[in-house]
């Protein structure tokens, strides 16, 4: 974009096979940014996105610019869709396309040759299959991994694990908040990870990771400490294993209180938290999966939900014992969350879910085609084959 000359003809080609446009939502919370800014200059991804978007629009607005965008890219990439939302784009060669609408499915032959061994079922495996059977094949049968491995960075998945570890370590030894104790635990967890993974981080990156882990984990810890205000004898279990003959997984946090049992899952952003309606309709199955295999009777489950560690007020809690609502409203940290009282009874809903899940599990075992059926545009986001997949159903050719 730096070499753009509005007096010359310019061809701009946008394809999904190149690196994605960095999203405007990929940024630290205000608390983290404030601390980072005190250390030194910090680039805000949100601001960078606006600059890139503005530069692109300047190029597009030129009469000498010829723009070509990969078919369906805007439907599957929300960042590009944001850039072009006010533009009318015209499909080229529509007549030729109607005559020959053949789309090559480059993975079909690999599926036919694959030795498919169905391992134990987990919530993430089932969710991936529901999102798109083909995505499941690439992720769990072929076990493709698109993550970048480097000893100079910590992956988002690992950051989540570190935040969970800090929360667990703190809650096992403390019932009240201590800034100094929390910092000591956070530093220890991070140092142990850096040493175990043989990472080589510069001081600014290391400090940035430390600040994020501190910020996110402190939000989760303070919210969980509220449970002690409800019941001083509250008992916590972290990474609670759920195992069956064909099932595996673990629950982030299970709390036993005098009001009943709570199941809490930790998320790093609001975007990864489903709506209560998606849970009810089995579009997002993680919580109900945990409920079914937690070995807690449905009548004992008083609350299930997600804590958004980056911004606790955008967490989602579903309460099944109505008397909990006013109690939550009086707690210093949890009062900012608006709990949902589902209209369904949990025992009946879990019975429906069990039938649904058993059917899907059998369907996964019997599947030999793993068709391309993404349920939403963002289902393709973390698929390891998103750059070569037609992202639509393909007939046999």
Q: Establish if 108 belongs to a structural domain.
A: no
CA neighbor of 219 nearest in space, from 186, 191, 255: 186
Q: For residue range 53-110, what is the model confidence (pLDDT) as tens digits? A: 777 777 877 777 887 887 667 766 777 777 777 777 777 765 554 445 556 787 888 9
| One domain, residues 182 and 77 | no
| One domain, residues 170 and 300 | yes
CA neighbor of 214 nearest in space, from 264, 162, 266: 162
pLDDT band of 8, cuts 50, 70, 90:
confident
| One domain, residues 50 and 186 | no
| One domain, residues 39 and 177 | no
Q: Establish if 364 belongs to a structural domain.
A: no
Q: Establish if 2 belongs to a structural domain.
A: no
pLDDT, residue 2, reads 57
| One domain, residues 220 and 332 | yes
CB-CB contact of 264 with 101 (8 Å): no
Alpha helices in the chain (DSSP H): 30-39, 45-61, 73-76, 78-83, 94-99, 108-113, 123-131, 133-136, 156-171, 179-197, 203-230, 276-280, 286-293, 324-328, 346-366
Count up the domains in the chain and report the number.
Answer: 2
Q: Establish if 48 belongs to a structural domain.
A: yes
- Please state, in angstroms and rounded to a whole number, the distance separating the CA atoms of residues 340 and 237: 24
Give the DSSP letter string of 214-228.
Answer: HHHHHHHHHHHHHHH
| One domain, residues 183 and 60 | no
The mean of the pLDDT values for the chain is: 87
Strands 250-257 and 235-241: antiparallel
pLDDT band of 326, cuts 50, 70, 90:
very high
Provide the residue range defining the domain that includes 173: 156-349
Query: For residue 232, what are the contacts with CB-CB under 8 A and spacing of at least 6?
Result: 175
pLDDT, residue 187, reads 98
CA neighbor of 217 nearest in space, from 262, 252, 249, 251: 252
- Please state, in angstroms and rounded to a whole number, the distance separating the CA atoms of residues 151 and 136: 28
| One domain, residues 85 and 228 | no
pLDDT, residue 159, reads 97
- Please state, in angstroms and rounded to a whole number, the distance separating the CA atoms of residues 88 and 56: 15
- Please state, in angstroms and rounded to a whole number, the distance separating the CA atoms of residues 21 and 197: 29
pLDDT, residue 29, reads 56
- Please state, in angstroms and rounded to a whole number, the distance separating the CA atoms of residues 68 and 47: 26
- Please state, in angstroms and rounded to a whole number, the distance separating the CA atoms of residues 192 and 145: 25
Q: Establish if 290 belongs to a structural domain.
A: yes
**3-state DSSP call for residue 305?**
strand
| One domain, residues 201 and 309 | yes
| One domain, residues 90 and 167 | no
Q: Establish if 357 belongs to a structural domain.
A: no
Last residue in a domain, options 99, 122, 143: 99
Last residue in a domain, options 68, 99, 130: 99
| One domain, residues 302 and 170 | yes
CA neighbor of 183 nearest in space, from 71, 321, 352, 35: 35
Last residue in a domain, options 99, 120, 135: 99
The residue-averaged pLDDT of 139-152 equals 85
| One domain, residues 194 and 66 | no
Q: Establish if 254 belongs to a structural domain.
A: yes
C-alpha torsion 54→58→61→62, nearest 10: -170
CATH assignment at residue 320:
3.90.320
| One domain, residues 171 and 301 | yes
40 has a pLDDT exceeding 60: no
- Lowest average pLDDT, out of 35-44, 145-154, 303-312, 355-364, goes to 35-44
Q: Establish if 319 belongs to a structural domain.
A: yes
Asked whether the CA dihedral 210, 214, 217, 221 is positive or negative, the reply is: positive
């Amino acid at each position: 974009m730096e070499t753009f000359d509005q007096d010359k003809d310019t061809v701009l080609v946008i394809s999904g096979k190149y690196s994605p446009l960095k999203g405007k939502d990929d940024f630290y919370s205000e608390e983290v940014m404030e601390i980072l800014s005190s250390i030194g200059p910090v680039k805000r991804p949100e601001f960078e996105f606006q600059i890139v978007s503005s530069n692109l629009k300047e190029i597009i607005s030129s009469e000498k610019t010829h723009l070509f965008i990969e078919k369906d890219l805007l439907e599957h990439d929300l960042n590009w869709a944001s850039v072009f939302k006010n533009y009318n784009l015209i499909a080229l060669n529509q007549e030729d396309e109607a005559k020959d609408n053949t789309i090559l499915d480059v993975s079909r032959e690999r599926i036919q040759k694959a030795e498919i061994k169905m391992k134990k079922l987990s919530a993430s495996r089932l969710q991936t299959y529901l999102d798109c059977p083909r995505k499941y094949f690439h992720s769990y049968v072929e076990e493709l991994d698109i993550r970048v491995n480097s000893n100079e960075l910590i992956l988002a998945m690992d950051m989540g694990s570190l935040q969970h570890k800090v929360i667990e370590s703190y809650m096992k030894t403390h019932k009240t908040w201590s800034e100094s104790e929390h910092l000591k635990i956070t530093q220890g967890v991070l140092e142990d990870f850096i040493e175990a993974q043989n990472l080589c981080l510069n001081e600014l990156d290391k400090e940035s990771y430390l600040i994020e882990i501190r910020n996110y984990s402190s939000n989760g810890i303070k919210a969980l400490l509220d449970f002690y205000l409800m019941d001083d004898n509250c008992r916590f279990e972290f990474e609670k294993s759920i195992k069956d003959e064909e099932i595996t997984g673990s629950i982030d946090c299970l709390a036993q209180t005098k009001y009943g049992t709570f199941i809490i899952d930790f998320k790093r952003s609001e975007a990864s938290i489903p709506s209560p309606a998606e849970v009810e309709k089995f579009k997002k199955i993680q919580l109900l999966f945990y409920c079914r295999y937690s070995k807690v009777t449905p009548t004992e489950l008083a609350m299930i939900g997600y804590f958004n560690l980056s911004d606790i007020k955008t967490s989602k809690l579903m309460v099944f014992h109505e008397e909990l609502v006013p109690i939550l409203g009086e707690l210093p940290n949890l009062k900012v969350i608006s709990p949902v009282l589902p209209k369904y009874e949990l025992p009946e809903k879990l019975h429906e879910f069990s039938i649904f899940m058993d059917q899907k599990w059998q369907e996964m075992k019997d599947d030999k085609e793993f068709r391309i059926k993404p349920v939403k545009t963002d289902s393709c986001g973390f698929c390891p084959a998103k750059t070569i997949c037609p992202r639509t159903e393909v007939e046999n050719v």
